[in-house]
Every structure is written in C-alpha cells, then in structure tokens.
Chain A
Amino acid sequence: MTDAIDTKAEDRPEEPAGDGTDEKRTGRKPSRRTLLGWGGAGLAFGAAAAGGTAAALRLDDDAAPAAAEGEAVPFYGPHQAGIATPVQDRLHFAAFDVRTDDREQLIKLLKEWTAAAARMTAGHEVGEGAISENDELPPDDTGEALGLKPSRLTLTFGVGPTLFEKDGKDRFGLKGRRPKALIDLPTFPGDNLDAARSGGDLCVQACADDPQVAVHAIRNLARIGMGRVAIRWSQLGFGKTSSTTPDAMTPRNMMGFKDGTRNIAGTETDRLDKFVWVGEKDGDGWMAGGSYLVARRIRMHIETWDRTSLKEQEDVFGRDKAEGAPLGKRKEREEPNLRVMKPDAHVRLAHPDSNAGATILRRGYSFTDGTDGLGRLDAGLFFIAYQRDVRDGFVPIQTRLSRSDALNEYIQHVGSAVFAVPPGVRDKDDWWGRALFG
C-alpha cells in the first residue's frame, strides 16, 4: 500500500517545543510530490460528489501532505491536521467541559495543550517524559506510547457553542465572538439524544493508526487539563474507514456496505476550499482556514439489520452490497442514477443533487462499545463531518434524511455535538484558539 508514497525525503519534522532530545521515534517530512489517494470516511450520509474525480490525484502545495504508515503528520500549517489528512485507522474523540471561570487559566491550558499536542504528534513524550528524574513524582507522560511510532497521530481541536455562552452567561467574554455558523443543531425527527453523550465546551479528535497512540494522546491531554477541564464524554472508533492510496478498497461500515465512496478527497483543494475551509470573507475572521465539525453517535440496530433480506438492504442504501455500485450500475465509482433508486434510498436522499448541492467531508468511524445489557451489540457509526458552514452542510442533509431515509428503521441518533474548529497552528508561538482569544 505504501508503494506509491515517496519516502526518500529523510528530513525530520520540525521539532516541537520541548527538549528535542528524544530520538526514540523519528518522523519524516513527506515529499510534496507524493502521490496519494483519498477515500472518504464515514457512512454514506451525504454521499458527496463532484464529477467522479475521487480516485488518484496529484497533491499540490495547499493540500494536506501524506505521511507514510507509522510516521508523523506535520502539526503546524494553515489548517489543522486531521481533517483533510488521509484517514487513520483509529479514533479517540473526547468532548470536555471547562470547569474554570478564569479566562487566563483557560488560555494557559490551551497553550499547554498545544505544546503537548505538537510533541505527541511528532512521536515525543509530553513534558519531561515518562520516566521522571525525581522518582517521588508521578511522571509527566503516562508512558504507554513509549517505543511506539508516531502512527500518523493527528490532534484536532474545536470549541462548542457553550464556550461562548452557557445558561445565558458570557463565561469568558467570548459571546460576541461566536461564529454565526456555529449554530445549536435543531432537533431532528427520531433523535434520542443522551445529554451525557452530547455537547461539550471543547473537543479533541485524536486519530492514529495505532489505537494506543490515540488513547495515549487523549489521556495525557485530559490529565494536563484536570481541574480546568473535565472529560464530558469520549468515544473510541475503529474501522479503517478510508484508504490512503487510490487502489485501496473502500472500507465497509458495520452494516456491511462500502462507505465513503464519494467523499471529498483530501487532495481536492478546490472542493475543500468550497465546502470545508471557512473563507476569509465568510464573516467570522478568526475562523478563516478553520472548519465546522458535527459529531453524531449513531447506534445501529445490528440484530434487526442482520435479518433483513439482501434485497431490502440494497434498496435501503441504493447500492449493491458486493461491489458497492449504485443501483443499475456495475462499478462502485460509476455516477449514480438517483431516479432508479427508491425515493427513500439513503444514497439518493443524501446526494448533493437532492440537497441543493450540500456537501460535507465525512471522517467517521465504526464503534462497538460492548453490549447493551439486553444482549445486543452497542454498535454503530460515530459520524464526523467537516464543513464550511453547518447551515449549508449537515443541517439540510440531515433534515432530509431524518424525515424520509429508509435507513432510519435500523439506526438511531443517540449523541450529538457541534464544534468550531479553528485554523491551524502556524508555528511554535501559536496555539489552539489564539485567533479566538486574540
């Protein structure tokens, strides 16, 4: 799978703030000439497509650089990594409540978090490492990632609506800074949201090829934040839901269907600029270069789905199960003919043509959190979508899907959150959210 990737460039990624002496894990700066492919992630919600170009594309200067397997993804850049970055195998997503009322304390935390994130994404230990000099002290780093590769870890930071205002209170003098696009999501028909799995003042999305590296990152950020923030909820995800090379197979979701065939590719800079990155002129200056994240925990009724006939399963999605071809077509990547699909087929309803062009970048993961006490798998899709404006992306698509989607018989939305994801951290002096507080 890595054949297409140019790994000749041996430069190390820029050393993040810290001692810089850790040679245990090294990263490589990927070549911009790297050929890479992009497969989208997530359930086929909003099977977004331009004209069938999502196969092999040459990466140009603004696109997210690809890292070879196991290596480091650059942390600094105009956009945060973990959005257009080729999707890694594993997820640990955490939403936090801010406990302090002190704006300076919050800023201090964000600076500490940024420094730790820069180190961890480069494959370094946080603080003074996992083996402290003074053995009367607990080590700064929790240690379970020692000896592991950077594993393409990305840490993506966002702020939720409640950071700006909660219970009518302007907590940090940010009320006036709340972007118009950061709306409170409307209630959709069929929603059965658990408050304990929804919302959050802050979020961090950790993606890595090694689950231990992703969990280590969230664990250490949570520890650094203790007192100032507390984890509100977190979600583990698995399932390599997209490929890094054009030839790679489109991954399948827990329902057994290929998922993400027509997602926005990380290499399609024009579509990223149009649908994902917030523009300079969008009205909220501090968000330029950022994006908006919608997360939904979608429980699947696995057992009832499994006893559904193949014909009905295929009708529900609007694609065949074996190849993933749109109904009436033979190949997965052929342009779908929406009119031959059932009116309530998932792919038909989610398609941009059914939603005035609404297009989102999906980056979801499958989850299975054991069983639910009734012997049923607590499994489904942890849906993550990035978009330039939630009002033009997730909201119209989900409005349509929640009303009519044939899939609704087999799924239930049980958790929901929305976050503004600020632009990237430019350099060592920059930090997560600087533009917001500046």
Chain B
Amino acid sequence: MRAFRSSAVTVVAAAAALAVVSGCAEKSDAGDDDVIRVTASDDKCEVSKTSFPAGDVKIKVHNKGSKVTEVYVYAADDRIVTERENIGPDFKTEITATIKKPGSYEIACKPGMKGDGIRQKITVTGGDGKEKKTDPALDKAVAEYRKYAQEQADATIPLAQKFADAVKAGDLDAAKKAYAPSRLGWERTEPVAESFGDIDPKVDVREDGLEKGQKWTGWHKLEKSLWDGKKITDEDKALADQLMKDLVDWQKRVGKADITATSMANGAKELLDEVATGKVTGEEERYSHTDLDDFQANVEGAEKSYELLKPVAAKNDAALVKELDKQFGDLKKLLGDYRDGDSFKAYDSVGKDDRKKLSDAVNALAEPLSKLAGAVAK
C-alpha cells in the first residue's frame, strides 16, 4: 500500500466552475454572500472574510498590484488545496474548490510569483460545527516535510537537466557521470513521487516492470543505453527531453501531495523496503551498479521523516526512538564503508557477504521503523 495518496480535495478550474455551481453545489450556491474576495497588491493580500463553511468555495481574485501574482489556499500542513498562477496586473479571476475538512487554512498572495507569499489565516467551519483538532506538532512536521520534498524536487531539476543535456549532446561519459546525482532527490522522496500514480511509471520504471503495450521511458531506459548498449540513440535524446518534462510535472505537484504524519512514517518504512527489495539485490541499477547511491538517498529521506516526527514519537515511545537512533546510526556507518569519493563503490564489486551485512542492517532498521506510524498516531 502506498503511504501517500494524491490529494482528495477536488480542485475545480474556473472554466469548469459553472458546472459545479449549477449542478451539485446548489445548496452552497456561491451567491455573492458566499464568495470570498481576495484583493491582491504588491504588498498586501486582503481577504473579505476569514471564516466560511466547508463545501464548495468560490474565491474571486483581483490583482491590483503592478506585479504578476499567484493565489494559493494552503491547509494547516501547508498542503496546496488550490492555486492559480499567472494573474496579471489588474486582472480578475475566479477559483472554485471543494474544501471538505473543517479546520485552519491560509490564503496566500505571491506577488512576483515567488516565495511563501503574503498569508491570511482563514477558518473553515464544519457542518456540525465541530472542528476536528489536529496536533500542531504533527502539522508542523508535515509542513516541514513538504518543504523538504519540494526542495528535493527543486534541486533535482538542474541536476537532471545536466544529465539530459549530456545525453542530448551524445556525450556518453558525461551522461554516465551525471546519471546517479540526477536521481538522488527523487530517491529521497520517492513515496511522495509515487503518490502521483502517473509519474513514477514514466520516469523510474525498470524494463521488467513494464506493462504490455507500455513504452519504456525514463532513467532506467537511458541507463541501459549508456551502460549496456554503450551508445546514445536519437530515441534516447528524445527520451531525455521527455524525462525533463515529467520531472517538471513532478516538481509542480509535490505541494499537492496528501501528506499526513502517518503517511510520513509509513513512507520512511517504504523507503527502507525499497532498499530491501531493490537495492540490496542490485536489481534497481542493474546496468550502472549505482545502487548504493540510491540506497544512501533512500536512507536519508527516511531519516528526514523520522527526525521530523521524532519529538512526537519520543513522547509516546521513548524506547522506539532510542532503537531507531541506534539503527539509523549503524546503517549509515556501515554504508560509509562503501564510500568512494563523492559517490559509492559500484555495487557489482560488493560481494555476497557484504551484501548480507547490508541486508541485515536494513532489516534491523526497517523492523522498528514499521512501528513509527503507531507511535505518532497514538
């Protein structure tokens, strides 16, 4: 089971808003009383009301500033509920979204389309008046993790571009060199990336994972060409462009992933499962043998989730935290033995006994890590 799901919130684009208004949303019909007016300027983000009931919400935006702006609605854990980009000076637009869960949200205007924006707190009230309280410590952990996932995606783009450029230039050596680094951000946050069911099969599928009729694209196809075929074809060059397109799509969607404290904990375990089933066996990078680079990235990503959840987990299960600290330390130390400069030894040079040691250390960490979700959900 995947730890992360795509957002359950239905975001309806303005063009389709009419259908919603005239259709299923009659009860909360967005007559002007229900509309939230956002007046954006270069230094302000004014909101006409800060409390409204859950359900379909219509936001009318007017950009009175001189810069092109964006408007976002964020949940308490910084998940993007809805967004609109490219609102030019003196432009008006409407955003319609369904916000199901009562709770605290924020509306942000981003003049110049960058940064965290100018934010206003809003409250969405429940139909029964009851607000489901979330743990602020966990909301903070989720928000921090989302930030991390976004940073990883952002940092991946230039590294992937370097790889893609080398492929397109037909430079075999440069492409080989750029291959492993281009994957690290993805590997660190893979459960988030996988939650967008359509991206993972395009960028990270292995040949044996293809479904009938599915075209093989992405990193591993290029890996095979570089190391096994030892030449770059015109098709590969086109695939490099396709990879970039798909990765930019991923980068844009990270903010919308539905992340919870539980899914973070389970995602950490899943990263270790990835190591246990794909990397320890050498299946993931069967041509480039850069499995240990992925291995390290998976462990780093799992540790990030763990570190963010640790304050809460420590309160509920101190012994578990102690054990996880130890096992993360042991595994990282063991991995360190295989370092080779900035990177790692080729995995085909790692013998059977060493692979068993790595496998045992992964199991030693993954078993207690499987209890982390229980410790934060208590």
Contact = CB atoms under 8 A, between A and B. Distances in A.
**Do A and B assemble together?**
yes
Given A227-B323, A227-B327, A99 B364 contact: yes
Interface string A97-137: 10100000000000000000000000000000000001011
Question: For this complex, into which size category does the number of interface residues on chain B fall?
Answer: 10 to 19
B98 to A, nearest CB: 27
Nearest to B359: A230
Contact of B371 (A137, A196, A223, A228): A137
A345 to B, nearest CB: 40
B374 A136 contact: yes
B360 interface: yes
Contact of B363 (A136, A137, A196, A226): A226
B374 A223 contact: no
A226 B370 CA distance: 12
A226 B373 contact: no
Contacts of A134: 374, 377
B367 interface: yes
Interface residues of A, number: 12
A108 to B, nearest CB: 11
A227 B377 contact: no
Nearest to B378: A134
Contacts of A77: none
Given A136-B262, A196-B352, A227 B363 contact: yes
Contacts of B323: 227
Contacts of B266: 136
Contacts of A228: 364
Contacts of A283: none
Interface string A193-231: 000100000000000000000000000000100111010
A225 to B, nearest CB: 9
A335 B364 CA distance: 54
A228 B363 CA distance: 10
A328 interface: no
Interface in B351-371: 352, 356, 360, 363-365, 367-368, 370-371
Contacts of A230: 356, 360, 363-364
A94 to B, nearest CB: 14
Contacts of B368: 227
Contacts of A97: 360
A227 B352 contact: no
Among the interface residues B323, B360, B371, which one has the most CB atoms of the partner chain A within 10 A? B360
Contacts of A138: 370-371
Nearest to B374: A137
A226 B363 CA distance: 6
Contacts of A223: 367
A327 B166 CA distance: 79
Given A136-B262, A196-B352, A227 B367 contact: yes
A228 B356 CA distance: 15
Nearest to A224: B367
Contacts of B364: 99, 226-228, 230
B301 to A, nearest CB: 20
Contact of B367 (A99, A137, A226): A226
Nearest to A97: B360
B93 to A, nearest CB: 41
A99 B352 contact: no
B334 to A, nearest CB: 11
A226 B365 CA distance: 8
Contacts of A99: 360, 364
A99 B364 CA distance: 9
Contacts of A227: 323, 327, 363-365, 367-368
Nearest to A133: B374
A42 B323 CA distance: 43
A321 to B, nearest CB: 41
Contacts of B363: 226-227, 230
Interface in A53-74: none
Interface string A165-199: 00000000000000000000000000000001000
A196 to B, nearest CB: 7
15 contacts: A97-B360, A136-B377, A137-B370, A137-B374, A138-B370, A196-B352, A223-B367, A226-B364, A226-B367, A227-B364, A227-B365, A227-B368, A228-B364, A230-B356, A230-B363
Interface of A: 97, 99, 134, 136-138, 196, 223, 226-228, 230
Interface of B: 262, 266, 323, 327, 352, 356, 360, 363-365, 367-368, 370-371, 373-374, 377
Given A99-B360, A137-B373, A228-B364, 10 more contacts: A136-B373, A137-B370, A137-B371, A137-B374, A138-B371, A196-B352, A227-B363, A227-B367, A227-B368, A230-B363
